[in-house]
């Protein structure tokens, strides 16, 4: 078992740490040449996800290179809609696509919550195997998409767009959308509880598209995140990643989560003032800064973030997933800069 005093777990409980722990959203992925080779070996992305030995290899690859304070299971948020039978395909350079997107109330009524022990067995096996391989070195994070973010992909049938169709669906057929969100909340809670039962030591909900909702954010996204958290086996901390939802930090802090993953547009010092002292904050370097290949600029951006939140209760991360064009050497420099920046008892500096 990972010791309870691991730096990531302490930071998630807002306990004192000697420095901010650090990991990277999408730390396993296309910016690593060894990941690209592994995906070629697997043949395609979904086979990589669905073969536990290969998914565990992808999970461990970034940890062999970098001094990271967490592992995140290699998988995708779209495993649930795939297990519901929507026919997921992941085309190279195109992103995800569903053969059978949801376009009607009848389509939603026909859906059932997948039994994770059966339809998502491959993820649970990967979680269990990853825990064994990590052997207590760093905690393993399990994850799922938020109900709203999953609903967006299921209604649109593809990623990468403006998502006008799902917003229209939510506004014109709110009852059907709520039916879908309730089913997804149930599915996500069962899936995360199964990941916890198989060894996940932290769980994270990715609400990548909640920010699209503006004033309807609580109704269509946050209320369903709260329902998921309310049904979780609360032996492990829960992180909610909230992209473009900086306006709602106070209500996110009240949804039952232990930590909020904040995007690069949110000032950490401000966020801390707004959420109080009991919720940890994770983030929030803009991933684009790594693309500039300018070590001095990168180091000062890292320092500015750490100074804006002297902590306790801060986990260093990016404000969104690392970009495929990132040079891995810059990742090393970023993590070195975090490691040599002790947690000082000074007041936060404004962003
Ligand atoms: O070609 C490839 O190899 C596929 C690229 C890829 C990868 C590496 C996809 C397709 N998913 C993943 C892995 C993944 N996805 C992880 C792995 C664990 C890690 O190392 O962090 C995680 C946590 C995710 C989560 C995920 N998938 C999110 C939420 C986080 C975020 O970045 O906002 C979302 C929105 C997705 C959907 C998805 N999957 C893949 C792509 C290209 C996308 C985005 C599609 C779009 O543009 O809308």
pLDDT in tens, 99-155: 999 999 999 999 999 999 999 999 999 999 999 999 999 999 999 999 999 999 999
What pLDDT band is residue 3 in, cutting at 50, 70 and 90? low
Q: Is 89 in the pocket of ligand 1 (CB under 6 A)?
A: no
In whole angstroms, what separates CA 269 from the centre of its chain? 22
Higher pLDDT, 10 or 94: 10
Residue 151 CA to ligand 1 center (angstroms) comes to: 16
CB 13 within 8 A of CB 237: yes
Q: Is 25 in the pocket of ligand 1 (CB under 6 A)?
A: yes
* Percent share of the chain, pLDDT over 70: 97
Q: What is the pLDDT of residues 33-65, one digit of tens each?
A: 999 999 999 999 999 999 999 999 999 999 999
pLDDT at 1: 52
Residue 76: active-site member: yes
DSSP class of residue 262?
E
Whether residue 262 is predicted with pLDDT greater than 80 in this model: the reply is: yes
**Active-site residue, selected from the candidate residues 31, 153, 191, 217:** 153
pTM for the whole structure? 0.96
Beta strands in 32-183 (DSSP E): 71-72, 88-91, 95-98, 140-145
- Strand (E) or helix (H) holding 241: strand 238-242
**Active-site residue, selected from the candidate residues 19, 26, 97, 131:** 26
**Active-site residue, selected from the candidate residues 19, 39, 178, 272:** 39
Q: How far apart are CA 130 and CA 135, in angstroms?
A: 8
């Amino acid at each position: 078992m990972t010791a309870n005093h691991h730096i990531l777990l302490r930071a998630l409980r807002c306990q004192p740490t000697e420095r901010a722990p650090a990991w990277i959203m999408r730390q396993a992925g296309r910016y690593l040449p060894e990941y690209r080779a592994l995906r070629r070996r697997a043949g395609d992305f979904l086979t990589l996800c669905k073969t536990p030995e290969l998914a565990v290899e992808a999970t461990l690859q970034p940890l062999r290179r970098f001094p990271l304070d967490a592992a995140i299971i290699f998988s995708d948020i779209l495993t649930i809609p795939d297990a519901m039978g929507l026919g997921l395909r992941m085309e190279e350079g195109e992103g995800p696509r569903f053969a059978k997107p949801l376009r009607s109330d009848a389509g939603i009524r026909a859906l059932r919550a997948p039994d994770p022990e059966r339809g998502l067995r491959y993820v649970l096996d990967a979680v269990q195997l990853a825990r064994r391989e990590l052997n207590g070195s760093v905690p393993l994070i399990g994850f799922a998409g938020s109900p709203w973010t999953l609903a967006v992909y299921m209604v649109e049938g593809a990623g990468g767009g403006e998502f006008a169709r799902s917003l229209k669906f939510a506004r014109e057929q709110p009852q059907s959308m709520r039916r879908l969100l309730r089913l997804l909340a149930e599915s996500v809670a069962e899936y995360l509880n199964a990941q916890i039962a198989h060894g996940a030591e932290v769980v994270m909900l990715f609400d990548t598209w909640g920010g699209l909702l503006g004033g309807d954010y609580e109704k269509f996204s946050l209320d369903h995140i709260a329902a998921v958290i309310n049904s979780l086996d609360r032996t492990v901390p829960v992180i909610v990643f909230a992209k473009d939802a900086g306006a709602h930090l106070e209500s996110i802090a009240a949804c039952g989560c232990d930590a909020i993953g904040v995007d690069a547009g949110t000032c950490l010092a401000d966020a801390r003032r707004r959420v109080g002292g009991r919720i940890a904050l994770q983030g929030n370097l803009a991933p684009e800064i790594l693309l500039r290949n300018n070590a001095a600029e990168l180091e000062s951006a890292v320092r500015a973030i750490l100074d804006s939140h002297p902590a306790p209760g801060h986990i260093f991360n990016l404000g969104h997933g690392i970009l495929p064009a990132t040079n891995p050497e810059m990742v090393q420099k970023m993590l070195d800069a975090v490691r040599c920046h002790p947690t000082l008892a000074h007041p936060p500096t404004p962003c």
